[in-house]
A and B are shown apart, each in its own frame.
Chain A
Amino acid sequence: MLKNKRWTFIIGLLAGMGMAVVAVVTLPRLQPHTFYGTVLQSPDKAPDFELDTASGTVSLEDFRGKIVLLYFGYTFCPDICPATLAEISKAITSLGKKADEIQLMMISVDPGRDTPEMLRDYVTHFHPSFLGATGTEEEIAQVATMYGIFFEKHEGTEATGYLVDHTATVMVIDQEGHLKLVFPFGAPAQEIADDLAFLLK
Chain B
Amino acid sequence: MSILPDEGGSFSHLTKHCDMKKGLLYALYALIGLVVVAALAFKIFQPVQVVPRIRLAPGFSLIDQDGQRLTNEDLRGGFVLYNFTYTRCPAPCGNLNQTMQEIQSRLDEAQLGDISMDFVTISFDPDYDSPTVLKGYADGLGADTSQWKFATTPDETLLKAIIGGGFEAYYNQKDDGTFAFDPKFVLVDGWGIIRGEYRYQTQVPDTERILRHIRVLAEEVRNSQGSASLAYEAAHYFLCYTP
Task: List chain A positions with a Cβ less than 8 A from chain B.
Answer: 12, 15-16, 19-20, 22-23, 26-27, 29-32, 34-35, 38-42, 44, 47, 138, 141-142, 144-152, 167, 171, 179, 182, 184
Q: Is the CB of B32 within 8 A of A150?
A: no
Chain A residues whose CB sits within 8 angstroms of the CB of B28 once the complex forms = 16
Knowing A19-B36, A26-B36, A145-B166, say if A44 contacts B233 (CB, 8 Å).
Answer: no
Give the contact stretch, choosing among B57-65, B93-101, B127-135. B57-65
Closest chain A residue to B35, Cβ basis: A23
Instruction: Name B187-232 residues within 8 Å CB distance of A.
Output: 191-193, 229-230
Complex CA distance for A158 and B191, rounded to whole angstroms = 35
A19 and B29 within 8 A (CB)? yes
Report, nearest first, the 8 A-B pairs whose CB atoms are least far apart: A148-B56, A150-B59, A149-B59, A19-B32, A42-B55, A145-B161, A26-B39, A40-B53
Contacts of B73 in A (CB 8 A): 150, 167
What's the minimum C-beta distance from B140 to chain A, rounded to whole angstroms?
Answer: 30
Given known A-B contacts A23-B36, A150-B73, A40 and B56 have beta carbons under 8 A apart: yes
Decide: B233 and A32 in contact? CB cutoff 8 A: yes
Q: How far, in Å, is B36 (CB) from chain A's closest CB?
A: 5
Is B54 positioned at the interface, with any CB of A under 8 Å from its CB?
yes
User: B31-60, CB under 8 A of A: which get 1 and which 0?
Assistant: 011011011001000000000111111111
Q: Which residue from chain A places its CB closest to the CB of B165 in the assembled complex? A: A146
- Asked if B158 lies at the interface with its beta carbon under 8 angstroms from chain A, I say yes
A173 to nearest B CB, angstroms? 11
Q: A152 vs B193: C-alpha distance in the bound complex, in angstroms?
A: 21
A35 cross-chain contacts in B, Cβ below 8 A:
233
Question: Which residue of A38, A146, A151 is within 8 Å of B193 (Cβ)?
Answer: A38
Sample (6) of A-B pairs whose CB atoms are under 8 Å apart: A30-B42, A32-B234, A44-B55, A148-B72, A167-B73, A179-B56
- Chain B residues lying within 8 Å of A145, measured Cβ to Cβ, are 58-60, 158, 161-162, 165-166
In the assembly, what is the distance between CA of A27 and CA of B239, in Å?
17
- How far apart are the CA atoms of A182 and B20 in the complex, in Å? 52
A148/B53 contact (C-beta < 8 A), A19-B32, A30-B234 known: no
In this complex, what residue of A is CB-closest to B56? A148
Query: Are A152 and B29 CB-contacts (below 8 A) given A39-B236, A40-B193, A41-B52?
Result: no
The residue of chain B having its C-beta at the shortest distance from the C-beta of A149 within the complex is B59
**Which chain B residues numbered 114 to 137 have a C-beta less than 8 Å away from chain A?**
none
| In the complex with contacts A146-B161, A150-B72, A19-B53 CB distance below 8 A | no
Cβ-neighbour of B54 out of A42, A47, A151 (below 8 A): A42
Q: Which listed residue (B57, B58, B61) contacts A152, Cβ 8 A?
A: B61
The docked-state distance in angstroms from the alpha carbon of A27 to that of B31 is: 12
Please give, as numbers and ranges, the residues of chain A lying within 8 Å of B57 by CB-CB distance.
148
For the complex, what is the distance from the CA of A171 to the CA of B25, rounded to whole Å?
Answer: 48
B60 near A150 with CB under 8 A, answer yes
Q: What separation, in Å, do the CA atoms of A182 and B193 have in the docked complex?
A: 10
Interchain CB contact under 8 A, A27 and B35: yes
Q: Min CB distance, B113 to chain A, in Å?
A: 20
Cβ-closest chain A residue relative to B238: A29
B229 CB → nearest A CB, Å = 7
Known: A148-B192, A167-B73. Is A20-B32 also a contact (CB below 8 A)?
yes
Q: Which residues of B contact A31 (CB under 8 A)?
A: 230
| B157 adjacent to chain A (CB < 8 Å) | yes
- Nearest A residue to B76 via CB reads A167
A47 to B29, CA, bound (A): 48
Interchain CB contact under 8 A, A47 and B35: no
B237 CB-CB contact with A under 8 Å: yes
